[in-house]
A = this chain, B = another copy of it.
Amino acid sequence: MDFKYEDFKDKVYNIIFGTDTLAGKAFDIMLIVTILGNSILVIAESVDKIRNDYSLMLQGLGMFFLIVFSIEYVLRLMVVRKKTAYLFSFFGIIDFLAIIPVYLGFIIPQIRFLVVIRIFRLLRLFAIFKMGRYIDESSQLLRALKASRPKITVFLFTILFIIVLVGSLMYIIEGPENGFVNIPESMYWAIVTVSTVGYGDISPQTPIGKLLSSMLMIIAYGILAVPTGIISHELANTSKGEKITKVCKNCATYAHAAEDKYCARCGSYLEL
């Protein structure tokens, strides 16, 4: 029995990229478990106490995950047919970004934490479990968002205008001595206020400053209402579907669905 490299490559390809065969599914599930484990490891590693107490174990696990993901990446590169297409595909970039921080982390330790980018690969979950319904729903949400893009663009520009203007005014009114150190800082304050987050790290001190921010807050009130209005309106539009499609010629009743063949009130045949 001779070993055929091409056959082997095909097999590996089906396991790694496929989601239909049992082996492919098993591989993907293992991968997801690994990714989740790795994400939790990275998050846990950032906690001082855990890092100090379990330093050896964490280093071991980190090394293990690095090897696993490196092998996986090399395998993917080997078996994939259109190498450049994969390299610059969404998942190709994610896969690359998921490994590179670990290597760079040997030089600049903080970069290591960028490994959490790997969680983007969890999007594969949708493909694996054929969660069609959720994809449907998210595509409906995306469609609603896309349909309201021009409105939201107008809205974002209005916000940006308000932020630049109010930010500059507050810098002039309050000045560096009250925490509005410069215009960018003032604009940061304006965003914190308009979004109603309100940390309180910077807050107006002078009466005029307080008056202006009060006005900004009341305007923010009305502004907050706009995107919500837009999105709930678009959601209603994208999921309507229940339009009057046919009208019964006998009794003038309208039919809801395109596939209705008989009138619901008099039972006569509905022509197109």
Contact = CB atoms under 8 A, between A and B. Distances in A.
Interface of A: 39, 42-43, 46-48, 110-111, 113-114, 116-117, 119-120, 133-134, 136-138, 140-141, 144, 150-156, 159, 161, 164-165, 168-169, 171-172, 175-176, 181-188, 191-193, 195-201, 203, 207, 210-211, 213-214, 217-218, 220-222, 224-236, 239, 242, 244, 247-249, 252-257, 259-269
A196 B196 contact: yes
A133 to B, nearest CB: 5
A229 B228 contact: yes
Given A235-B230, A261-B266, A262-B265, A221 B224 contact: yes
The listed residue with most B CB atoms (<10 A of its CB), out of A152, A187, A188, is A188
Given A141-B155, A181-B48, A168 B113 contact: yes
A171 B113 contact: yes
Nearest to A137: B150
Contact of A261 (B48, B222, B265): B265
A214 to B, nearest CB: 5
Contact of A252 (B110, B161, B196, B252): B252
A229 B138 CA distance: 14
A41 B39 CA distance: 42
B182 A47 contact: yes
The listed residue with most B CB atoms (<10 A of its CB), out of A197, A232, A266, A267, is A197
A268 B202 CA distance: 67
B214 A191 contact: yes
Nearest to A168: B116
A225 B222 contact: no
A255 B156 CA distance: 35
Please provide the 9 A-B residue pairs with the shortest distance between their CB atoms, ordered closest to farther: A262-B267, A229-B232, A197-B198, A199-B200, A229-B231, A260-B264, A195-B217, A247-B252, A46-B183
